[in-house]
Amino acid sequence: MDVADIPAVPEWLPDHLRADGIESLYPPQAEAVERGVTEGESLVASIPTASGKTLIAELAMLSAVQRGGKALYIVPLRALASEKKAEFEAFSEYDISVGVSTGNYESSGEWLSSVDIVVATSEKVDSLVRNGAPWIDDLDCVVSDEVHLVDDPNRGPTLEVTLAKLRQRNPDLQVVALSATVGNAAELAEWLDANLVDSTWRPIELRKGVHYGQALHFDDGSKRELRVKSGEKATAAILRDTIADELDEEGNVTEEGGSALVFVNSRRNAEAAARRLASTTSKFLDGDELAALKTVADEIRGVSDTETSQDLAEAVEQGAAFHHAGLASEHRSLVEDAFRDRLLRVVCATPTLAAGVNTPSRRVIVRDWRRYDGNAGGMAPLSVLEVHQMMGRAGRPGMDPYGEAVLLANSHDELDELFERYVWADPEAVRSKLAAEPAMRTHLLATIASGFADSREGLLEFLGETLYATQTDGQARIERVMDDMLAYLRVNDFIAEEGGRLKATPLGHTVSRLYLDPMSAATVIDGLESAEDPTAMGLYHLVCRTPDMYELYLRSGEREEYTMLAYERETEFLGEFPSEFEERFDDWLSALKTARLLEDWAGEVDEDRITERYGVGPGDVRGKVDTAEWLLGAAESLAGELGLDCTVAVREAKKRVQYGVRDELIDLAGVRGVGRKRARRLFEAGIETRSDLRNAEKGVVLAALRGRRKTAENVLENAGHPEPSMEGVRPDPDAAPAAEVDGGDADEATETGDDQASLGDF
């Protein structure tokens, strides 16, 4: 289908698409148009990665805006929200406005009412519905990206319930669900009352296979020699073959080398693989590439002063990188950008990179097809859907002539098994996880509090609009789980029944608005009600015991260490102190370990020391800090709702976590651009409060901030100093930090390194 023949889209769109090199639609895109995606018809598009799902979404949203409507694009990850917003802002020249919303679950996002396209995570959309965002009722089109993630036991129920609520509030809503190829796409379409495009078409060929011995064995029965040298690992051999240029007999380049993604089963393996493969990639880099990679490596070092940051930078300098959830978001973005720019030849990643982030490559190597599964008590095979998602990253349209995805076999039997299990297999059906208790208690309260249902019958009717109902013949299980969770909500005073109608209590409304799991709220309330003069550690441990905080696990030999710590600080803990012989004691200790990490952070312990002490990455530290800040903010609201006397203590503990400082620096660290390290230097120079900073001698400030003029000017301006300019100011030598480097503007380029702000600034 020629782009000029697309119906009901803005008249400028065909020329815009042609300017991007798109003259005609891919077959799945044309099928979507034929099924009415630009004319308000709902659609499920189950098609492979890189087959044009985003353009299908854009056609739906732009046609809705053309009709005077409003569109919402739901993504599974915050990182994807930023990526999609940047893509959609290409339409700003045609007066299409785009807004993104991912944080602060307590806001109603009223400012979003004025934009044409909103990009948000499913959790944020759920919170907007709970908080009564009025523009939700004005939606004409909702796009759900990666809708197959309804199968995820943690995040799936939120996406499922959110789509059901949006459809209930807007009966004529167009829903466009974008999915990887799954085993039950027709069932998803039935749930959403949508037309279906179910296709395996790709713009470039994807060959799937298995490497065994000295050859690649492909799904079409062909083989290709790929020899592994003596002492070389198969992964390194495949990478070497991938990035080397292909030459003819006369030595002329017939095809330039490509890049590779290597999927492994753990963070540690990703880091180790990147270190090893760097020795392969470094041989293929020229001087310009090495210089560009050094610039990227310097930026990586500037993100955090941790061993993880240093290890990543060292690998990047040689053309390799690792990518996992333990990295800071800035680390991941730098790696993704350098890989897309073909500076990096290989990225070694955990399966998280397969979910949505735009990082295609010439070859995908699935090195590990098993990973540790706590429920199975050992290593368990990955699902076909996960492996196919990884494989789908092979082949960049417009850049690669083909894509290849290979698994690694160590025996002939394993070669046969991998073909049967993954290469020739169809993906599994996705299944609703809504009937699990944590999801049910959370979404039942939200459904009652936001007025979607006010009776048992009404709740069952609402649940009848979910995927779970589509996939389940009998209602017995969901009724049993629902009744148990309603009883839990009543006992904890989150809901009440009046005149035969269910309603949320004031406390229940607060819990729903705060986006808390009701069990988290019950735990926090129980702890706060037992508190007379709570310490920061007591409050950190309290929020770390909630289901909303992912605890650190106890490593071998740590049980005794944390048991001793528990008894040493027993008087600080809020709520019941379990016996060490109870089964839940280990979970209680895991919460203590997580709380001690927060205490170290709020005690100004260096980030590299924290990551080393707890065996985590900088991304983990930031994740724990962000979650603790949110939960302590919720605890402050709950304390206020219940009229408890601990509100000030909770607020102070929250501020300390937010800024990563001791008590005396809270006021100073709250100035934008100061953060934990700069606050300590200013304090030691005699500037102890925001007021002091507002009236400070500029030479003292400049010296405390290591002669960095631009930083000093920004800090003084943010503090409200009457004359923030540093022109002609010299650093006061008596106020210089002990470890001063020679100051001045020459150091400005390295400001993000040693002088990093608190993690709360990110």
Q: Say whether pLDDT at 347 is over 60.
A: yes
pLDDT band at 376 (very low <50, low <70, confident <90, very high): confident
pLDDT score for 751: 40
Domain ranges of the chain: 3-198, 206-423, 437-513, 518-660, 672-761
Mean pLDDT confidence for 655-669:
96
Q: Say whether pLDDT at 743 is over 80.
A: no
Q: Of 470, 173, 139, which is closest to residue 125 (Cα–Cα)?
A: 139
- Stronger pLDDT, 175 or 111, i.e. the higher one: 175
Asked if 269 and 310 count as a contact pair (C-beta separation under 8 A), the reply is: no
pLDDT band at 252 (very low <50, low <70, confident <90, very high): confident
pLDDT band at 329 (very low <50, low <70, confident <90, very high): confident
Q: Say whether pLDDT at 173 is over 70.
A: yes
Q: Say whether pLDDT at 588 is over 50.
A: yes
Q: Say whether pLDDT at 480 is over 50.
A: yes
Residue 112 DSSP label: G
Q: Say whether pLDDT at 231 is over 50.
A: yes
Q: Say whether pLDDT at 479 is over 80.
A: yes
pLDDT score for 354: 66
Whether 206-423 and 518-660 share one fold: the answer is: no
Sheet holding 260-263, edge to edge: 223-225, 215-218, 206-212, 403-408, 363-366, 260-263, 346-349, 320-323
pLDDT tens for 118-154 read 999 999 999 999 888 889 999 999 999 999 999 999 8
Q: Say whether pLDDT at 377 is over 80.
A: no
Q: What is the pTM of this model?
A: 0.88
Q: Say whether pLDDT at 570 is over 60.
A: yes
Superfamily of domain 206-423, CATH level 4 = P-loop containing nucleotide triphosphate hydrolases (3.40.50.300)
pLDDT band at 240 (very low <50, low <70, confident <90, very high): very high
Mean pLDDT confidence for 564-576:
95
Averaged pLDDT of the chain: 91
User: Which class would CATH give 518-660?
Assistant: mainly alpha
pLDDT band at 250 (very low <50, low <70, confident <90, very high): confident
CA distance 166 to 637: 28
* CATH architecture for segment(s) 437-513: Orthogonal Bundle (1.10)
pLDDT band at 247 (very low <50, low <70, confident <90, very high): low
Mean pLDDT confidence for 603-607:
94
pLDDT score for 531: 85
pLDDT score for 740: 42
User: Which class would CATH give 3-198?
Assistant: alpha beta
- How many of the other CB atoms lie within 10 Å of CB of 153? 11
pLDDT score for 355: 66
Q: Say whether pLDDT at 181 is over 60.
A: yes
Beta bridge partners of 405: 208, 364
Mean pLDDT confidence for 215-226:
94
State the chain's maximal CA–CA distance in angstroms: 89
Mean pLDDT confidence for 426-455:
93
Asked if 668 and 718 count as a contact pair (C-beta separation under 8 A), the reply is: no
Q: Say whether pLDDT at 569 is over 70.
A: yes
Q: Say whether pLDDT at 104 is over 70.
A: no
Question: Please, what's the b/e burial string for 620-654 (b: 16 or more CB within 10 A of its CB; e: otherwise)?
Answer: bbbbbbbbbbbbbbbbbbbbeeeebebbebbbbbb
